[in-house]
Amino acid sequence: MRSETAQLIKLEDYKETPYVIENVSLVFKLQPEATEVISTLTLFRREGTETGAPLELDGDDLTLVSVAIDGAALAEEAYEASPEKLVVQTPPADTFKLEVVTRVNPTTNTKLEGLYLSQGIYCTQCEAEGFRRITYYYDRPDVLSVFTTRIEADKVTNPILLGNGNPQDAGDIEGTDRHFAVWHDPHPKPAYLFALVAGDLACTSEKYTTASGKPVDLNIYVEKGNEDRTDWSMDSLIRSMRWDEKVFGREYDLEVFNIVAVSAFNMGAMENKGLNIFNDKYILADSDTATDMDYEGIETVVAHEYFHNWTGNRITCREWFQLCLKEGLTVFRDQEFSSDERSRPVKRIADVIRLKSRQFPEDQGPLSHPVRPTEYKEINNFYTATVYDKGAELVRMIKTILGADGFRKGMDLYFERHDGDASTIEDFLKCFEDANQQDLSHFSLWYHQSGTPFVKANGSYDEAAKTYTLDLEQNTAATPGQDEKKPFFIPIRFGLVGPNGDDLAYTSVEGAHVDGDLLHLTEDKQTVVFHGIGSKPVPSLLREFSAPVKLESTLSREDQIFLMRHDIDPFNRWQATQTLMTELLIELTNGEEPAGKDAFIEALGHMAEDKNLDHAFRGFGLMLPSEQAIALEIGKDVDTDAIGDARDAFSKEIGKALYDTFKRIYDAMEMPATFSPDALSAGKRALKLRCLSYLGAAQTEESAVLTKAHFDNADNMTDRMGALTVLVIWQLAGAQDALKAFEARHKDTALAMDKWLSIAARAPSEDAIAAIRTLTEHPAFSWDNPNRIYALIGGFLGGNTRGFHAADGSGYDYLAEITLQLDKTNPQVASRMAKSFGTWKNMNAERRVKAEAALKRILAADQQLSTDVKEIVELCLD
Ligand code: PHE
Ligand code: ZN
C-alpha cells in the first residue's frame, strides 16, 4: 500500500466488525487486462451494533463498477467509494445482500498481491491483505465466511480452472469460446485464504485415503513441461498427510487437495484452503536442477503448507498480531516432521543455524520485535524470522517444559476447543495450562518481550563437599520500545559430563527447579548447587538448544574440545565446535594468535573421520561460522574486511593442516550408483563437498584439478553447484570455464540459473557493484521475478559480506538505489531487500556514516515510498 500517512495499527484497538458476512458468492470473468469480479455478500448486523450503522469495507487500488443492495442499485448519495474503501452509509435492514462489481487488471499487477498473471497463469495471493485488491471486503482474519466461487475464462488459454474447496459444477458458456467452473468451500474461512487459478497447466495426480477411510484426490499443477519434476513434492505431500494423522491426529477435510506452482511469487508458498499456491522453487525438483537442500526445502514447505490446514485454516488468527499463532506453530510442526523423516540431531543443527543467522541479527538490531508484536505499520513487514523461527522455538519450549504427553494433551485441547475460531496466543497457551494444570504466565513473557537473552554460566567444583555449583545469570539488552527487561523463564537442558564422557548423577539439588536433565532458570541470577558429584564435571548446557538464548560460557578451550569429543548430546558436540571456531576467528580478526588453535584443528580432524557420527553431522561440524555470524558475535565497530581476511586465512590453514585427512575422506566416500535425495546420500555428498571446500581453500594445484573434475563429472546439481562454488570462491583454475559450462547447460532452466546468479554474486571482486550491475544485464536475470532478485541481489547482500559492507559505502549506495527502484513495482520485495540495512549499527564508524547516509537518501528520494519500505528504513534510522 502506498500512503503518505501510514498509520500505526495497534493490538489494543482491536474491535469486532459491526456486521457479519455469512456467505460470499464470487464470480470472476477473467480477462488479462480487465477482469470483472461480482461479489455477493450475505450480511447481517451483529448483536450490539446499532441499527443502520455504516458498513465500511476495505479496498486497495479498486475500480468500482456498480453496487446494489437486495437487487436494487444504490443511489449515489447512499454510498461512498474510493479505490481504498466502500462505505454504505445506512444499510437498510438487519440482513441484506450486498452486490458489488469491481474491475481489476491482472496484467499490470506487479506487486503480486491480489489477482495477477504469472507466465500466462492467473493466480491470486491474498495473505495478508491482498483480497481487498480483488473486491471490497472485511479483509481481516476474524471475518470467517463460506465461499462459493465461479470462474469464467477462455477455454483455450485457460483449460484449468481452480478454486477453494470442492468442485461443484463446470461447463461451457454457450455461444462463446469460454467455459466456467464453480467451487464451493464448506469450511468458513477468512478472505486471506481465498484463492483461484486459471491457466493451461500440466497436472500430476495421486489418490490418498485418510486414516478414517475418506478418499482425497491429490493434484499438483505446474507450467507445461515441468510435469516430470513433481515426484518429490507429491511424495512429500503424502508423507506429510500421514504424519499429521499419526503425530497430531489431524485428518484432511476436503475431497481434493490441489497445489499449483507459479514462477512469480513473493514468498515461499501459501496455504489457501484446498488450493495451496507455491513458488515453483518449492515444488519442482529433479537431480539435474535441484540440490539436496532444495529437496529438503521442498519437503519442508510442502509439509508446512499442508499442516496449515489445521494450524492456520481450521483455527486461524483473530488479527495479524497473532501471526505467530499459525506460523510459529506450523514451523514447529514442519520441523518435527523433517526430524522424524530424517536425522533429528542434524535437523536440529540446521534449524539452529537458521535461527542464529536470521533471527538473532533481527533481534539484536533496530528491527527487533516481540514474537507477538503490539503494533505495526505494514503487516507484510512482519513475516519475519522472529515470528516464524523464534515463534517455533517458543512452541518447542512448551513441549520441553510439559513433556511430550503434556504437549500433545494441550494440542488436542486446542484443536477441540478452537476448531472454527479466530484465536489468540492467550487462547493457545490456556489450552496447555488447562490440559496440564500448569501456570504458564511467566513463560508467556517470551511472546511479548523482544530481544535475545544472554545467559552466562560459571561453574565450580568442591572436591571435599562433592558439590558442583553453577552460577547462572541472564540479561537481555534493551530493544526498540522496551528499555526494561524482566527475566525470562528459560528451560535449560543440561548434563554434568564426567571424565569418561558419561553424565554424572546428582543426589540432590538446590537453587533452582531441576527435573532430571532440565533446569528452570527463572531469575536474573541463580546459584544452583548439585550434591553428590563424585568428580569434577564439564557442564554441557542448553543441550538440544533448549531455549533461543545466547549462552556465554566460561569453559576453557580444553573443556570445549572435551565436549566436542565426548558430549552425549550431539547438538552440543556441534555447538562446542562452533563456539571454539567463533572464539578463534574473533581473535584472528583482531590480529591475535589464538591459544589452543592447533589442538582445535587436530580435534576437528578427528571429528571429520569419526565413523560413529552421521555424515551430515560431520559436514555441519566442519562448517565455519559465516562472516555475518562472526560480525554479530563481535557486535560493534565491525570491520567486515578484517573478518573476511581472518576467515579466509583460517579456512586455508585448516585446509592445509588437514589436507590429507580431507583427501582421504573425499577419496574413500562410497556413493550410490544412481542419485537419490535421501538423507544418508545427501549427508555423504555434504561431507564430501565440505572436504572439497577445505581442499580448495588450500589452493593447491591438485585441489584445483580435483574440484574441476568434481564439477565436470557431477551427475547431479548438488555436486555441480558445490564444486562450482569452491572454484569461484577460491578463484581456482577452471572457475571461469565452469561458470560458462554451467550456463550453457542450464540456460533454459530459470531455477538452475538462480544458483548460477547467486554464486556469481558472491565471487570475490575488486568492484563488486560493477560485477552485480553486469549480472543484472544477463538474460537469466529479471527485475520482474522475485526469485531472480532473491538469487542475485539477495545472494549479494547475504553472501558477499565484503562487497555489501565495502568500506567505501558502494554496497549501501547500491542497496538504496535498488530499494527505490524496486519499490515502484514490488514494495514487498523492495522492503525485504532493504532489511539488509538492519545490521548497520554494528559496523565501524566509517561504514556507519555511509549506511546512514544511504538510508536517509531513501527517505529523501523524490518518489512516494510504500509503507513497506518506509517503515523498515525509519526503524533502521530510529
Ligand atoms: N502464510 C505463508 C506461509 O507461511 C507465507 C505467506 C505470507 C505467503 C504472505 C504469501 C504471503 O506458509
Ligand atoms: Zn506458514
Residue nearest to atom 9 of ligand 1 (CA): 127
* Model confidence at 28: pLDDT above 60: yes
Nearest ligand to the CA of 384 is: 1
pLDDT the model gives residue 6: 79
| Ligand 1 atom closest to Cα of residue 331 | 4
Strand partners, 216: 208
Active site residues: 305
* Closest residue by CA, ligand 1 atom 8: 270
Residue nearest to atom 5 of ligand 1 (CA): 270
pLDDT digits (tens, 9 = 90+) for 89-126: 999 999 999 999 999 999 999 999 999 999 999 999 99
Q: Which atom of ligand 1 is nearest to the CA of 266?
A: 10
pLDDT at 3 exceeding the cut of 60:
no
Domains of the chain: 1-199 (2.60.40.1730), 316-448 (1.10.390.10), 457-547 (2.60.40.1840), 576-700+749-877 (1.25.50.10), 701-746 (no CATH)
Q: What is the pLDDT of residues 779-789, one digit of tens each?
A: 999 999 999 99
Question: Mean pLDDT in the chain?
Answer: 98
Phi/psi for 59 (5° steps) reads: -140, 165
Ligand in nearest proximity to the CA of 301: 1
The residues facing 509 across adjacent strands are 530
Distance 332 CA to ligand 2 centre (A): 10
Determine the distance separating the centroid of ligand 1 and the alpha carbon of 303, expressed in angstroms. Answer: 13
Per residue in 227-261, pLDDT (tens digit) is 999 999 999 999 999 999 999 999 999 999 999 99
**419 CA distance to ligand 1 centroid (A)?**
21
**Is the predicted pLDDT of residue 2 greater than 90, yes or no?**
no
For 384-414, the pLDDT digits (tens) are: 999 999 999 999 999 999 999 999 999 999 9
User: HEC profile for 683-705?
Assistant: HHHHHHHHHHHHHHHHCCHHHHH
Per-residue pLDDT of 794-819, as tens digits, reads: 999 999 999 999 999 999 999 999 99
Report CA(383)–ligand 1 centroid distance (Å): 8
Closest CA to 876 of 833, 825, 841: 841
Residue 1's closest CA among 875, 876, 870, 872? Answer: 870
Grid coordinates representing 811 are 554496497
Q: Is the dihedral of CA 662, 665, 669, 675 positive or negative?
A: negative
pTM of the model: 0.99
Asked, as a colleague might, if the bond just before 404 is cis with ω within 30 of 0, I would say no
Task: Kindly list the strands in the beta sheet with 508-510, ordered across the sheet, starting from the edge strand earlier in the chain.
Answer: 508-510, 525-531, 467-475, 454-462, 550-553
**pLDDT on residue 553:** 80
Rounded CA separation 563/561 (Å) = 5
Asked whether residue 415 carries a pLDDT value surpassing 60, the answer given is yes
Residue nearest to atom 1 of ligand 1 (CA): 270
Residue 616, pLDDT above cutoff 80: yes
Which atom of ligand 1 is nearest to 128's Cα? Answer: 9
Rounded Cα–Cα distance for residues 459 and 469 (Å)? 6
Query: Tell me: the pLDDT tens digits for 486-525?
Result: 999 999 999 999 999 999 999 999 999 999 999 999 999 9
Question: Is pLDDT of 5 > 80?
Answer: no
Residue partners of 300: CB distance under 8 A and separation at least 6? 334, 335, 337, 338
Burial class (CB in 10 A: 0-12, 13-18, 19+), 824: middle
Q: Report in angstroms the alpha-carbon separations of 660 from 224, 655, 665, 703, 711.
A: 48, 9, 9, 11, 21
Q: Which ligand has the nearest atom to the CA of 268?
A: 1
Which residues have any ligand 1 atom within 6 Å of their CB? 125, 127-128, 267, 269-271, 304-305, 327, 383
Q: What ipTM was estimated for this complex?
A: 0.99
From the CA of 326, how far away is ligand 2's center (Å)? 7
Closest residue CA from atom 7 of ligand 1: 127
